[in-house]
Amino acid sequence: MYTPPPLTPVRTLAAAASVLIGAVCATNLYGTWTAWNAHSVVADYVAGLPGVTDSDLYAADDATITAVWVSLLAMVASVTVFLTWLWRARVNSERLSGVHHRMGRGWTIGAWFCPVVNLWFPRRIVDDIWRASRPGVPADQHQIDPLPLSPLVRAWWLVLIANYAMQYLLRLQTNTSDVTVGYFETIAVYSTISTGLTLVAGILLIRVVRQITEWQTTPRTTMEGTAHQQAPLA
């Protein structure tokens, strides 16, 4: 009798990814606070308010630099863990059903780092993992297109793309040579909007990760008609 290969463990990685995505959101909040703090300090300094000195300007600048580095570290950690989870989830989804994914397995990682196509390939990857992991996929189903897309994945990706656009505008602002009080205010406003989008995208992504993980760690009958052996939930 055919025994399907065991699923690779994803639950611990899913939990770690969720925590790190939350950490990215937290560091973005801190970064937004430093942006508004810098604006406030610069505005008070330019206005000549008593008690506001060069030391306050340096302190605000140091806080901003710290926020950038902390945010970068959190992002690198979260991306590393999330992509590790995504790879395992892709492998599991192929073992759970016989549907053919639209993208080769290598794109599970590569899609995020290739210019231009990273605007839609990653969503395809996650959408197909979602569809192939859902319980109830017919045993004779091989075409993935008839399977329903996930509104949750769609919402997450739209918010993420909107945040990409906002971060691009933010970078354009930081490259200007006209550094005034208005400049700091604009940076703070853009940072606030970007952080809001990051929070929404983070919450939606955590829900996607948890749902796929729940489907993949719930024992079921596979397309071969035998109960699938579950890997240790680690």
224 in a structural domain: no
Has residue 234 been placed in a domain? Answer: no
Q: What is the mean pLDDT of residues 25-35?
A: 98
Read off the pLDDT of residues 161-180 as tens digits, 9 standing for 90 and up: 999 999 999 888 887 767 78
- 112 pLDDT band, cuts 50/70/90, is very high
Q: Which two tokens stand for residue 194?
A: 């970007």
Tell me if 194 sits within 8 A of 28, measured CB to CB: yes
Give the domain range for residue 38.
Answer: 11-217
Does the pLDDT value for residue 221 go beyond 60?
no
For residue 201, give the nearest of 169, 153, 134 by alpha carbon: 153
Phi first, then psi: give them for residue 150, nearest 5 degrees: -95, 120
Q: Is the pLDDT of residue 3 over 90?
A: no
Residue 176 is predicted with a pLDDT of: 73
pLDDT of res. 18:
98
Q: Does residue 139 lie within any of the structural domains?
A: yes
Position 77 scores a pLDDT of 98
229 in a structural domain: no
Residue that wins the pLDDT comparison between 145 and 25? 25
Distance separating alpha carbons of residues 104 and 142, to the nearest angstrom: 15
- pLDDT one-digit tens code per residue, 32-43: 999 999 999 999
For every residue of 203-221, DSSP letters joined together read HHHHHHHHHHHHHHHS--B
pLDDT > 90 in the chain, percent: 70
C-alpha distances in Å from residue 149, one per residue of 131, 133, 139: 7, 12, 19
231 — pLDDT class (breaks 50, 70, 90): very low
Q: How many domains is the chain partitioned into structurally?
A: 1
Q: What is the pLDDT of residues 137-153, one digit of tens each?
A: 877 778 888 888 999 99
* 126 lies in some domain: yes
Distance CA 36, CA 187 (A): 8
Q: Please indicate, yes or no, if residue 168 is contained in any of the structural domains.
A: yes
CB–CB of 128/103 below 8 Å? yes
Phi, psi angle pair for 81, to nearest 5°: -70, -40
> Would residue 32 count as lying in a domain?
yes
Name 25's Cβ contacts closer than 8 Å, sequence gap at least 6: 195, 198, 199, 202
pLDDT higher than 50, residue 234: no
217 contacts 10 by C-beta, under 8 angstroms: yes
Q: Higher confidence at residue 218 or residue 130?
A: 130
* pTM for the model: 0.89
User: Quick check: is 230 in a domain?
Assistant: no
Higher pLDDT: 229 or 154? It is 154
DSSP H helices in the chain: 11-47, 54-96, 107-110, 121-133, 151-174, 181-217
Average pLDDT (41-68) is 93
Q: Average model confidence (pLDDT) for the chain?
A: 89
